[in-house]
Structure formats: structure tokens, C-alpha cells
Amino acid sequence: MLSIINQYGFWAILFLIAFENIFPPIPSEVILSFAGFLTLHSKLTLFQVVLAASIGSVLGAYVLYYIGYLLDENRLKKLVQTRLFRFLGFKADDVSKTITWFQKRGQGAVFYGRFVPIIRSLVSIPAGISKINFLRFSIFTFLGSLIWNLILTACGAYLGKKWHLLVTIVDDYAMICAGVIIIAFLYFAILWYKKRIKKEN
């Protein structure tokens, strides 16, 4: 991956970041921190790297948005009505409520989600499901990606030969984010389940 960036520069960064958005396990911090380091020893500029990465982020997000777009409300309701989801306590109207919430507040989720590893990619799917305005989705995705990419690239350039230290820092940040997300998910899942039991009683 580093060899590709070194050889093809702008286009390699664009392609790799687009690919990283579709397949989150590919580490954007490695791509961007190394690209930032390359700005010190090649014709690449910080502006070019950030622009390429931001365009790549949007293109990758479009793929996941389209996947979500294909999963319309009726299909999700049918999925929720299967035995497994009914056993877990889900109902068809949960789908409508979730989509309505995302249509109202999804733009913020798209923007802020770009700063959270894994979520930064996956947030495009519910955006597509809820059919939030495509232009607004593009703008918020681009702006959020621009900030994230600028931070990683600038830090990579600042650290120079020690650019790889940034990868460790971002990995730690990702672990903290994952822990917070899991705790929050369990907390709200328990609250939701208690409310559902009370309603049924």
C-alpha cells in the first residue's frame, strides 16, 4: 500500500481512501500519515493529499449510500418481522421511527460520524436508507472528511520520519471510541428493552 502511494501519489491516495471507506478495516491513518510524510520528500503538497483523500472519502461514501438506498423501508420491515428480530423484541414501527429520526438529525450524524473510526464509513448506510438529501449528504461527508484528512495528513507531515507514531495514537483513539460505542449501545439497548417490556405488560 505504501509502495502504491509512493509511486502513484494523488490518484493512489484517492483510490485507497475510497476503498477504505467501503472496507473500514483498511487503515486510513496509515495512508494519510504516510502521505503527509511524503509531502516533505516529493512533489505532493498538503493541499493535493487532503483534496485527493476527501474526494476519495466522498466516492467511497456514495457506494455505501447507494447500498443503503436499495434497503428501503418496506424491505427492512420484512427483515424485522422475521423470527430472530421478533425474538429480540423488534417491531415493524421501529424501522419507521429510526428512519424518521435519521431524516431529522442524520446530517449531524453524517458530519460528526466522519471523526469516529468504523462509524465514519458505516454512517453512510443509514443515510441511504433514510434517503436524506443527496446534496446535503455529499456536503457534510466532504466537510467532515476534509477536517479528518487534514488533521492526519498535517500530523504526518509534522512528525516526519516518525509518521508511524501517529498510527499508534489513532489506533488507541479507535479502541477508546469502540469501547464508548459498545457501552453506549448496551446502555440504550437495556433502556429500550425495559421500555418495551413495560409497554407489553
2: pLDDT strictly greater than 80:
no
pLDDT given at position 4: 78
Q: Could you read off the pLDDT of 143-186 as tens digits, one per residue?
A: 999 998 998 888 888 887 776 776 677 676 667 766 776 787 77
Q: Please answer whether residues 35 and 53 qualify as being in contact, where contact means their C-beta atoms are separated by less than 8 angstroms.
A: yes
Mean pLDDT, residues 84-98 taken together: 63
Structure confidence at residue 13 as a pLDDT band (50, 70, 90): confident
The amino acid at 76: L
Mean pLDDT, residues 38-58 taken together: 87
User: Residues 130-133: contacts with CB within 8 Å, 24+ apart?
Assistant: 130/68, 130/99, 130/102, 130/103, 130/106, 131/69, 131/103, 132/102, 132/103, 132/106, 132/107
CA-nearest of 37, 59, 60 to 49 is: 37
Structure confidence at residue 200 as a pLDDT band (50, 70, 90): low
Q: Is the pTM of this model over 0.85?
A: no
C-alpha 54/C-alpha 114 separation (Å) is 11
Q: Could you read off the pLDDT of 69-90 as tens digits, one per residue?
A: 888 777 777 766 677 666 655 6
If one compares 101 and 35, the residue with the highest pLDDT of the two is: 35
Mean pLDDT, residues 34-48 taken together: 82
Structure confidence at residue 122 as a pLDDT band (50, 70, 90): confident
Mean pLDDT, residues 53-70 taken together: 90
pLDDT given at position 197: 64
